[in-house]
Amino acid sequence: MTYLILKALVSGVIVAVVSEIARRSPAFGALVVSLPLVSILAMLWLWRDTHDTVRLADHAQATFWYVLPSLPMFLVLPVLLRHGLGFWVALGVSCLITIALYLGMVMVLARFGIRL
């Protein structure tokens, strides 16, 4: 249980620090957020928990494929906000589009024999 709390605290502190950086400088905050910090943390925790190279490799590869359909959200959200949609509506629409793109990615990859 202590280990779980430690993981949550470390991960939470990183999110808090990044949000403070973004509040002071949106561009620098975006740069820090674009770093794969969560992915690296997840890989570190997964490696520490399992020492399973196959599982870690599968996780890293799946992360790559899931990042691609998430990228349009960072273009759609600002467009919707700049066109006057409220934050929550714009975020909801962006998330729904991202979910649709995730499903599309899974279906396309399955045709090529890649299972996520």
Where b means 16+ CB within 10 Å and e means fewer, 49-67 reads eeeeeeebeebeeeeeebe
Residue pLDDT, tens place only, 59-82: 999 999 999 999 999 999 999 999
Whether residue 34 is contained in a domain is answered as no
Q: From its phi and psi, is residue 25 left (phi > 0), alpha (psi between -120 and 50) or beta?
A: beta
Give backbone dihedrals phi and psi of 52, rounded to 5 degrees, phi first.
Answer: -105, 105
Whether residue 9 is contained in a domain is answered as no
Q: Which residues constitute the domain of residue 72?
A: 52-116
Check pLDDT > 90 for residue 7: no
pLDDT at 33: 81
pLDDT at 23: 92
d(CA 6, CA 44): 13
Residue pLDDT, tens place only, 18-50: 889 989 998 888 888 888 888 898 899 999 999
Whether residue 42 is contained in a domain is answered as no
Number of domains in the chain: 1
Check pLDDT > 90 for residue 3: no
Whether residue 41 is contained in a domain is answered as no
